[in-house]
């Protein structure tokens, strides 16, 4: 079984979308490990605030098969793929890491570069998996968060 970290985000009907995604992921993969949920301003465009979190799953699916299952879950929850890359969305589920794999596998780049770029990904990782090691830079998420410019992106914890 592969240990996979997924990034979830939504800024359209966000509470419902995140809750629905967690139900769908639980039905598909069983027990989940959840980070805290954070609200943050949109990055890369002007838009409503996002809710973001990280989820750990275990799966026997290959990377490409997992990617397709996640796209299907996004689509089932109203994802509009006609919008630009940097736009609002009902649901976004990204594969952040798949075990400790590095490189492009089944057209998925691992680990996802947003881990090192965005507070809304790195902070939940540091909170819940502080001792996990980033597969490429070989540092813990706790150490990466400590070195991150935490004033560069505003985020705050929320309860659903």
Domain around 137? 2-158
pLDDT recorded at residue 45: 65
Res 82: pLDDT: 63
| Terminal CA-CA length for the chain | 30
Count: domains in the chain: 1
The CATH number assigned to the domain holding 74 equals 3.30.70.560
Residue 76 CA to residue 21 CA, distance in Å, equals 9
Encode the chain (160 residues) as per-residue pLDDT tens digits: 999 999 999 998 899 999 999 999 999 999 999 999 999 988 776 778 999 999 999 999 999 999 999 999 998 877 665 665 655 677 899 999 999 999 999 999 999 999 999 999 999 999 999 999 999 999 999 999 999 999 999 999 998 7
Q: Residue 75: what pLDDT?
A: 85
- Rounded distance between C-alpha atoms, residue 3 and residue 1, angstroms: 7
For residue 147, the model assigns a pLDDT of 97
């Amino acid at each position: 079984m592969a240990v996979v970290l997924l990034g979830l985000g939504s800024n359209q009907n966000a509470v419902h979308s995140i809750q629905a995604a967690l139900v769908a992921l639980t039905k598909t993969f069983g027990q989940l490990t959840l980070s805290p949920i954070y609200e943050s301003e949109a990055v890369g465009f002007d838009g409503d605030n996002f809710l973001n979190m990280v989820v750990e799953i275990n799966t026997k699916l290959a990377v490409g098969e997992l990617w397709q299952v996640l796209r299907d879950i996004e689509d089932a929850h109203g994802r509009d793929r006609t919008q630009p890359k940097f736009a609002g969305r009902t649901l976004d589920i990204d594969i952040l890491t798949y075990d400790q794999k590095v490189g492009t596998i089944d057209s998925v780049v691992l680990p996802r570069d947003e881990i090192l770029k965005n507070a809304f990904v790195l902070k939940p990782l540091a909170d819940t998996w502080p001792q996990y090691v980033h597969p490429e830079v070989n540092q813990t998420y706790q150490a990466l968060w400590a070195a991150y410019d935490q004033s560069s992106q505003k985020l705050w914890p929320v309860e659903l």
